[in-house]
Amino acid sequence: MSKVINSIMERGKKTAAERIVYTSFDIIHDKTKKGGLNVFEQAIKNVSPVVELKSRRVGGANYQIPIPVLGERRTTLAVRWIKTATQAKKGRSMAEKLAEELIDASNNTGSAIKKKDDVRRMAEANKAFAHFA
């Protein structure tokens, strides 16, 4: 929870970031009749990646090497992808956009899930280079 608030915070305005997150939880509760925290936890679980790509230079060529993601890094990447997907949307308040993205992510749709799938697909394509890790 605090990781999301700190991620959304800009220029040290933590109170504003808290207001955005808690308002989005209220919006989620109004739209889905589920608890905002339950939807949030499901969204983080759905967006958390299993593998990521690291760039590695071998013999003058750069290879994208798939590496398994462990522990805290999974949550960090999930929060980052949700925040990026939220900021890419235009036209509404940050709380509304965050609520919509969290609902989408909890339903396995949306931009953050697309990012996770793209990374997984790239890792599958570059599985041949895993021995460089």
Confidence of residue 132 (pLDDT cuts 50, 70, 90): confident
Three-state secondary-structure class, residue 52: strand
Task: Give the residue extent of every domain in the chain.
Answer: 2-132
Q: Helix H segments across the chain?
A: 2-8, 14-32, 36-47, 72-88, 94-106, 111-125
Query: How high is the pLDDT of residue 23?
Result: 96
Whether the full predicted model's pTM is greater than 0.95, yes or no, is no
Give the pLDDT score at 45.
96
> Could you tell me the two tokens for 129?
């280079």
For residue 132, which of 57, 52, 29 has the smallest C-alpha distance? Answer: 57
pLDDT of 133 reads 77
pLDDT digits (tens, 9 = 90+) for 76-102: 999 999 999 999 999 999 999 999 999
Taking the domain 2-132, which CATH number applies?
1.10.455.10
Give yes or no for a contact between 55 and 64, defined as CB atoms under 8 angstroms apart: yes
Please compute the mean of the pLDDT values over residues 4-9 and round it to a whole number: 95
**Which H or E element spans position 64?**
strand 61-68
CB 24 within 8 A of CB 36: yes
**C-alpha pair distances (Å), 59 with each of 63, 69, 132:** 10, 26, 11
Residue 24 backbone dihedrals phi, psi, to 5 degrees: -65, -35
What pLDDT, in 10s, does the model give residues 15-73? 999 999 999 999 999 999 888 899 999 999 999 999 999 999 989 999 999 999 998 99
CB atoms inside a 10 Å sphere around CB 128: 9
Residue 131 has pLDDT above 90, yes or no: no
